[in-house]
Structure 1
């Protein structure tokens, strides 16, 4: 059995390979291919694999471009960080998908679908792209939180920023109150409007109104002073600085 992995994030590709090797020890894996062009070149010069795992966002573009250039007959399982609304695109086409970070149980279910021939070998790229770009996407507007013995609803407009600390995730309000949440920052990043909240590093997801001051910092990074934050060293990761500036400059 030959499996092709198209994935531009090396840690994600390595995790996928480990999970597959544990479940399909006899399989021969190819890749990971990290660009649209390298994937097209490989598919044009090699026999078709039995199964393809394909990320959507690659180093040089969107993987859908591969399907526009190559007539692929192999079953495809997409790996994606898109939220549940966008996933409707894949359900419509009856191809399979896995949300990142990959869950072992979800991978097992996808492989079962593959073994039972329930995954189509034709992909309607036009329809998938249309649904993924749908303007009617709805972002989270409220959070149900527990405060002492009370349960209350917090409107997302009350949130100044979200942060992780000691394996817990907190919502900090503009009024200076904080509430613990069940979600992690990765989930919140997909649920919240990207125009209103930006992930500056592994620990913080912030709104523009939460920023009190911004300073230049070492190694081309930025240092931020957040309202109602006790953390004096809130640093924008170097690889996120350019996107952060663009986000603020809208």
Structure 2
């Protein structure tokens, strides 16, 4: 059994690897990847593993983006520290989860459950698309901006991009108005309709209606120009370039 671990907390990843090998010494840990971008690149360039352990909140985005970008039929055991709704979805969808910090007994039950499903079904196939739909819908239409003693409702459709830097998320509207908000960009991304918004990189979550031109960049990267100025050059990595172009073209 070849296993891939997607986890941005190095200590947690090493501990998980140690526990897996303690329970299944003959298994092989193919790799440990700390980001969605690296996971996308790995899954694109390598044969799919037999099993994936994946954290939900990664350093650059939520891990669901990985499985939207690279289709895989291998089973996935998600890791989470907080999301009770996700836990319920995994349970009802037949995909298991590990609640952090990982417990050896719980991990053992997960592996036993996986092996039982494999024996009964003959193939470890997970309905990833339905899981993603359960976890990410319904999407928010409006975000609330707090300005001193006022609360300003802002429609997602009016937002050109979200920009994260130095722990602060800035909203830039299509007309150029800017607001600072207290929410994290990962939280905002999870609530935004992926047909309308795309996580270009760690700094930017962009609205498709704001995209004006796409230019080829060195090392097969892309530079995206929006309808309004951005605080820094908006670069799409080589690993995400194909997925981004597909999103622009098809609205995926």
* TM-score normalized by the length of structure 1: 0.63
Contact 1:95 1:119 in 2 (8 A): no
Take 2:243 and 2:219, find their aligned partners in 1: how far apart are those partners? 16
Q: Which residue of 2 aligns with 1:107?
A: 100
The Cα of 1:169 is off from its aligned counterpart by 1.5
Contact 2:52 2:74 in 1 (8 A): no
Partner SS, residue 145 of structure 2: strand
Deviations 1:125-167 (A, max 9, x none): 7896584265893112221211233122212111111110122
Is structure 2 residue 61 aligned with structure 1 residue 61? no
Bigger relative CO (Cα 8 Å, ≥ 6 apart): 2
The Cα of 1:207 is off from its aligned counterpart by 1.0
Task: Provide closer, same or farther for how the CA distance between residues 87 and 191 of structure 1 changes in structure 2, counting only shifts above 3 A.
Answer: farther
- Alignment match of 1:6 (pick from 3, 8, 12): 3
Contact 1:54 1:78 in 2 (8 A): yes
* TM-score normalized by the length of structure 2: 0.63
Count of paired positions: 213
Structure 1: unaligned runs, 5 residues or longer: 41-51, 65-75, 99-105
The Cα of 1:232 is off from its aligned counterpart by 4.7
Take 2:229 and 2:145, find their aligned partners in 1: how far apart are those partners? 20
Q: Which residue of 2 aligns with 1:17?
A: 13
- How do residues 10-49 of structure 1 correspond to structure 2 at under 5 angstroms? 12=8, 14-20=10-16, 27=22, 30-33=27-30, 40=50
Superposition CA RMSD, Å: 4.3
Q: Computing the radius of gyration over CA atoms, which structure comes out larger, 1 or 2?
A: 1
- How do residues 1-250 of structure 1 correspond to structure 2 at under 5 angstroms? 6-7=3-4, 9=6, 12=8, 14-20=10-16, 27=22, 30-33=27-30, 40=50, 54-55=53-54, 57=67, 61-64=72-75, 77-79=77-79, 87-92=87-92, 96-98=96-98, 106-108=99-101, 110-111=102-103, 114=106, 121=113, 131-132=130-131, 134=133, 137-250=137-250
Contact 1:223 1:235 in 2 (8 A): yes
Contact 2:146 2:152 in 1 (8 A): yes
Structure 2: unaligned runs, 5 residues or longer: 32-42, 55-63
